[in-house]
Amino acid sequence: MGWAVKMKELMKIAFLLPSLKNLGPIIVVKDIIDGLLKNKNVSVTVFYFDDFKEDILDFSVNCIKISFFHKFDFNGFDIIHTHGIRPDLYTKIHKFDSFLISTQHNVIYDEYIINNSFLKTKAIESIWKFALTNKNLVISIGGTASNYYRKLLPNNKVVNVPNGRTIANNQGYGCSEDDVAKIKVLKERYTCIGTCTRAIKLKGHAQIIQALPNLPDYCFVLIGDGGYIEFLKKLALDLKVDARCLFLGYRKNATEYLNLFDIYAQTSYTESISIALLEAAAAKKAVVCSLIPSNTDVFQENEVVFFNLDDIDSLTQAFLKARIYREVLETNIYKKYKAEYTSEVMIEKYHNLYKGLMNEI
């Protein structure tokens, strides 16, 4: 193969992304790159397809916009590391001599079945599978995802590298004064449930609002925007809990708000390893989260409180339990996070993986 050359002293890696938008998978890539750059023998360039005027991440490396329909000359790069279906397809349709790696930030079927028919979901899964078949290495995130991709891609090498996340703990000082004032007004009367995620059906926020009639001394704060936000607002109004719900919209510094919450809620129907969940753990929050395999891959019952999806009684009891055992949960989740899920732990695994690949070529 063209990449079977003597190992170089300088490792050149190209990351290929859909965009630079401030979303979970792109945040993971930025963290990986920031960590890799601490090594003098690593050179990184980011390539992407779509431009956005706002809500983009500031990368500390050269970022080059390319077209999906035109082959870019990646000659000289040892590794092309793709993230997302279009980057995966791009490196399938166009032929490259570099070592091809793809990180899968989801479980394809589980993510797309939420909003699509079975046939459409299977079609998307088949297209993505086609895009991955030429990859020298597929990286999954968590044990559940690993099992899925090993069955989907029996002829590919699949390696599990869990997400990691490290945040600045600034005690909410980066929040706007107006936002802080609104949250504090609610906290004077209620236990504050909060979450920082996009407002889409997959995230399961409606379950929190549906539980609020059973929790008269709780309120809900959502940091995030998306196509589901108006539905959530109407649901809160219909259930007469709108006075206890605060929808602040998108905030670039969303993690700054974590210290304002009493309990963090992660109610997703499907995830790989949730970046938002790891950020809550990093902020030492008591967490209530959905009982899905990807969450049980990461935390145990003494570290978070699980609830059964779409079981509002189960969710209600989970919030009550989290308040009672808040201090114990905060201690336990933070201990697990520091041991296994910091950015530093994740970056070391990726760096060792890259070095191992370079030793093979």
Residue 3: predicted pLDDT: 42
**Phi/psi at 297 (nearest 5 deg)?**
-65, -30
Q: Are 193 and 262 in contact (CB under 8 A)?
A: yes
Report in angstroms the alpha-carbon separations of 55 from 47, 203, 273, 278.
Answer: 17, 20, 22, 21
Could you tell me the pTM of the whole model? 0.86
What domains are defined for the chain? 11-164+342-360 (3.40.50.2000), 177-340 (3.40.50.2000)
Q: Are 100 and 91 in contact (CB under 8 A)?
A: yes
Residue 5: predicted pLDDT: 42
Instruction: Work out whether strand 305-307 and strand 11-19 pair parallel, antiparallel, or are unpaired.
Output: unpaired
Residue 171: predicted pLDDT: 55
- Closest Cα partner for 197 from 110, 324, 289, 328? 289
Residue 245: predicted pLDDT: 98
- Closest Cα partner for 57 from 48, 67, 69? 48
Q: From first to last of its 361 residues, what are the pLDDT tens digits of the chain? A: 444 444 467 899 999 999 999 998 999 999 999 999 998 899 999 999 999 988 899 999 999 999 999 999 999 999 999 999 999 999 999 999 999 999 999 999 999 999 999 999 999 999 999 999 999 999 999 999 999 999 999 999 999 999 999 887 655 567 889 999 999 999 999 999 999 999 999 999 999 999 999 999 999 999 999 999 999 999 999 999 999 999 999 998 899 999 999 999 999 999 888 889 999 999 999 999 999 999 999 999 999 999 999 999 999 999 999 999 999 999 999 999 999 999 999 999 999 999 988 877 5
**Phi-psi category of residue 73: left, alpha or beta, with phi > 0 → left and psi -120 to 50 → alpha:** beta
Task: Please state, in angstroms and rounded to a whole number, the distance separating the CA atoms of residues 322 and 251.
Answer: 26
Residue 1: predicted pLDDT: 43
DSSP per residue over 266-306, as a string? E--S--SS-HHHHHHHHTT-EEEEE--HHHHHH--TTTSEE
Element (DSSP H or E) covering residue 24 = helix 24-36
Residue 253: predicted pLDDT: 87
Residue 361: predicted pLDDT: 58
